[in-house]
Amino acid sequence: MKECIFCQIVRGEKPARKVYEGKGTLAILDTYPISRGHTLVIPKKHIIWHTDMDEKEAQVFYRTMHLVAAKIKKAFDPEYINVFIRGTRVPHLHGFLVPKIKGEDNIFDKIMDVHHYFQQRQTPFLSSDELDDIASRIREP
């Protein structure tokens, strides 16, 4: 897609701090990092939903996520690395690798701490039967 910022980066039309490049993927430092080492993994092909990748593309994408996370772990020795997938705001699939650096706070972990606090204190809004139904719907082919 011509106007997609990630496609422009893949084509070399926009600058990026590349940390890894494979045959079908590119890993770049986020322009507005949440933490030291915050990296985005993107497919070179314009894909919005990770479920739109075929099996081979998914293998390449998730292998790159794993490989780059290992590189971040080696570089920063973080407490852990948050992994999440997006395709919104920039409508091009991107995997976030956000390390939790020892002694450094970041907004993502603070948000997750607040989420956890409320999650433990709320009354579940779905009944046991509703949860069984949801699980059944997801299991079905």
> What percent of the chain stands above pLDDT 70?
99
Q: Which residue intervals of the chain are DSSP H helices?
A: 5-10, 55-76, 107-121, 128-139
Tell me whether residue 78 is exposed, middle or buried, using C-beta atoms within 10 angstroms of its C-beta: 0 to 12, 13 to 18, 19 or more: buried
CATH code at 135?
Answer: 3.30.428.10
Average pLDDT, whole number, for the chain? Answer: 94
**Mean pLDDT along residues 45-53:** 94
Q: What angle do CA 83, 127, 84 make, to 5 degrees?
A: 5
- Choose the weakest-confidence range: 11-15, 25-29, 63-67, 104-108: 104-108
Q: Which domain holds residue 24?
A: 5-139
At residue 67, the pLDDT reads: 98
pLDDT of residue 83: 95
User: What does pTM read for this prediction?
Assistant: 0.88
Q: Which of 86, 14, 22 is nearest to 48 (CA)?
A: 86
The predicted structure's pLDDT at residue 68: 98
| pLDDT surpasses 90 at 124 | no
Residue 104: per-residue pLDDT? 94
Query: How many structural domains does the chain have?
Result: 1
Q: What whole-number distance in Å separates Cα of residue 59 and Cα of residue 74?
A: 23
Instruction: Express each pLDDT in 63-117 by its tens digit.
Output: 999 999 999 999 999 999 999 998 778 999 999 999 999 999 999 899 989 989 9
**C-alpha angle 19/21/25, rounded to 5°?**
115
Cα 105 from Cα 126, distance rounded (Å)? 33
Q: How far apart, in whole angstroms, are the C-alpha atoms of residue 38 and residue 36?
A: 6
